[in-house]
Structures are given as C-alpha cells and as structure tokens.
Amino acid sequence: LAAELGIALGLTNAYLKRCVRKGLVKVRSAPANRYAYYLTPKGFAEKSQLTARYLSGSFSFYRRARDQCDALLATGADKGFRRIALYGVGDLAEVAVLCAMRHQLEVVGVADDRANIDSFLNLVVVRDLKALPAIDGALLTDSVRPQQSFELLAKQIDPARILVPDLLHVTRDSGAPGRAGS
C-alpha cells in the first residue's frame, strides 16, 4: 500500500491505525506475521461519500472548464484567431480540444515543457511552442503549474494572444484581454 501511494511505510501504518480507530477498517491476523484489512460498513459508507464528492467535483470542474474554454475560444475566433496551440497536457486540454470543435479554430498541437509523450488526442506534443506551425494564439491548459507556464508562454508570444481560463487563477498584467471573466 505504501508503494502504491508513494508514501513512507510508517506514514501508511499511521493512517491505517487511524482508520481502524475510526471504525472504517477492520484488521485480522493472517499467516506468517501478515495482516488482512477489511472495510467495515462504516468504512464502505465513507468510501462511497468520498467517491460521490470526487465525482461531483469532477463534473463541476468539467462544466466550469467547458464554459470558460468555450467563451475564450469564441473570443479568440471573434478576434480572428484561426490556428491555436494549447499549452499544457491534461484534463483541461481535453476539454479545450472538444470546445475548439464548436468554433472555426484549428488546434495545431500542444506545447508542454514537461511532457514525455509525443501525441495527445491525435495532436503533436512538443516541449517548445516554437516547434509548432505558426499560430494566431494559445490557450493555457496547464492546471498543475499554470502561473509558471503562463510566464514561459508569455516569453514566446504576445500575452494579449494568450487565452487563460479564470479557473487557473493566473495573474497577468491588468487590462490584458483573454480571460474568461474579462
């Protein structure tokens, strides 16, 4: 379990003991100094609640991301953007690709300086935006480190041509267009 979670064995044991004390998990001895852990009915109910909260949060993120990406891409299309790049591989990039289909925008690829893949949703993935064909603008889709990615991207293209969803909480110069709430 510690290896699966990527945490120390001692921390894993502490969490398991806490779950046992709370009545979420039951422990039984197994042969050869081993233990078997079982979810109790209370633990199963807690797991169900956590799953429901996770799914609710995921659906909420998707709706907000879809609404904001759609609004930004519509704004970009109104400004004459026809070819855009995404900056950042992940869930937000998936949403953006779907939204781009609703507008007359071609997503030419995805730039991500940390990416270790060559393609994403049949789009080329590059480490540097300059490796992509010419673009009219870019949509920031890095939800892991959005501020840092925005700053890297702003060194490569005019910040006014960078579309930034509000849900990323990126700070840019005041008055610059391109945020979903602007």
- In this prediction, what percent of the chain has a pLDDT beyond 70? 95
Q: Is residue 127 a contact partner of residue 113, using CB atoms and an 8 Å limit?
A: yes
How far apart are the C-alpha atoms of 82 and 70, rounded to whole Å?
A: 14
Kindly tell me if the per-residue pLDDT of 175 is higher than 50.
Answer: no
Q: What is the DSSP secondary-structure string of 109-173?
A: EEE-TT---SEETTEEEESSGGGSPP-SEEEE--SSSHHHHHHHHHTTS-GGGEEB-GGG-----
Residue 53: the pLDDT is 87
Contacts of 158 (CB under 8 A, 6+ apart): none
Tell me: the pLDDT tens digits for 16-62?
888 888 888 888 888 877 888 888 889 889 888 988 888 888 888 89
Instruction: Give the integer Cα–Cα distance in Å for 139 and 41.
Output: 46
The model's pLDDT over 112-158, given as tens digits with 9 standing for 90+, comes to: 999 899 999 999 999 999 999 999 999 999 999 999 999 999 999 99
CA 160, CA 140: separation in Å to the nearest integer?
12
The pTM is what?
0.72
> How many alpha carbons fall within 13 Å on the CB side of residue 88?
27
26, 76, 78, 177 from 136: Cα distances, Å = 58, 9, 12, 15
Span 69-109, pLDDT tens digits: 999 999 999 999 999 999 999 999 999 999 999 998 999 99
> Using CA atoms, how far apart are residues 33 and 150, in angstroms rounded to an integer?
52
